[in-house]
């Protein structure tokens, strides 16, 4: 797995594949129909990614409707599997996938409201998108990954939102993405099990502040200056029955940082 030191052509490939992933998700989200189940939507995503040559995923596509976008208590990793929950007018929607295009692992999320958006949804979306600027500023200022994660959590709470990414695997605000030199044959769904097993084998003891891990969270293992490479950043907040999330690649290189692409912001 290559985590850093990418050439300009490689970064352009990451940018192109992230754009493609967002385009697939936007098409799926725009085509939602009342009565669709989460399982229906994840099947469409699988088919759409496979049509673009994707054979493996870091994690399989996820679709969440309504209150499930908030990861309601009690929540565990198994509940990310698509349910038979049917889409209704006024539901918040999150679609998420981490496809591997020709060895390039990207991870993207798209959030919508089915039907007319409400003021509460627009406010929550605006609040979440504000972290796109503040996280970048904190990284370039030299704050540690842990300090950034703790500050995001504090701001969520002070604004009346619940932190949902604390319920993601590894409690991640972000995680590494990179280029996979050789993806072993995936399972029948396209789940790159060996890659996932390797990823989790690299997780440090949560109390070990000297070890750097492929995750970015509020644990001691993230108490270091932002590490070079590509990071999929995914702040996820909730209020009431509304959950909002975005996810895209942040490039970090010797203290400098930038979002790999901005074109999706107009969609």
Which domains are present in the chain?
Answer: 8-256 (3.90.230.10)
Contact 177, 232 (CB under 8 A): yes
Which residues in the chain land under pLDDT 50? Answer: 191, 204, 206, 209-210, 267
Phi/psi at 23 (nearest 5 deg)?
A: -65, -40
Specify the pLDDT at position 30.
97
d(CA 263, CA 267) in angstroms, rounded, equals 8
Q: Which residues are paired to 191 by β-bridges?
A: 57
> 114-118 long-range contacts, Cβ below 8 Å, gap at least 24?
114/32, 114/34, 114/65, 114/87, 114/88, 114/89, 114/90, 115/89, 115/90, 115/91, 116/90, 118/90, 118/242
Cβ partners under 8 Å of residue 28, min gap 6: 41, 44, 45, 48, 95
Specify the pLDDT at position 267.
47
């Amino acid at each position: 797995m290559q985590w850093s030191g990418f050439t300009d052509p490689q970064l352009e490939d990451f940018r192109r594949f992230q754009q493609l992933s967002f385009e697939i998700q936007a098409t799926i989200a725009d085509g939602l129909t009342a009565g669709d189940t989460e399982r229906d939507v994840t099947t469409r995503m699988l088919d759409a990614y496979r049509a673009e040559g994707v054979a493996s995923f870091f994690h399989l596509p996820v679709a969440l409707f309504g209150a499930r976008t908030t990861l309601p208590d009690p929540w565990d990793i198994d509940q990310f599997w698509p349910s038979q929950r049917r889409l209704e007018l006024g539901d918040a929607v999150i679609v998420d996938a981490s496809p591997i295009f020709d060895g390039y692992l990207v991870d993207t999320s798209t959030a919508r409201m089915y039907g007319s958006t409400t003021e509460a949804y627009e406010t929550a979306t605006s609040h979440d998108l504000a972290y796109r600027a503040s996280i970048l500023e904190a990284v370039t200022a030299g704050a540690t990954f842990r300090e950034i994660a703790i500050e995001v959590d504090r701001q969520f709470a002070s604004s009346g939102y619940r932190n949902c990414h604390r319920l993601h695997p590894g409690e991640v605000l972000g995680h590494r993405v990179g280029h996979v030199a050789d993806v072993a044959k995936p399972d029948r769904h396209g789940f790159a099990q060996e890659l996932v097993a390797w990823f989790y084998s690299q997780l440090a003891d949560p109390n070990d502040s000297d070890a750097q891990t492929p995750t970015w969270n509020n644990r001691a293992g993230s108490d270091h200056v932002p590490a070079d490479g590509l990071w999929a950043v995914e702040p996820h907040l909730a209020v009431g029955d509304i959950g909002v999330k975005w996810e895209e690649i942040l490039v970090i290189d010797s203290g400098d940082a930038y979002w790999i692409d901005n074109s999706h912001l107009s969609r």
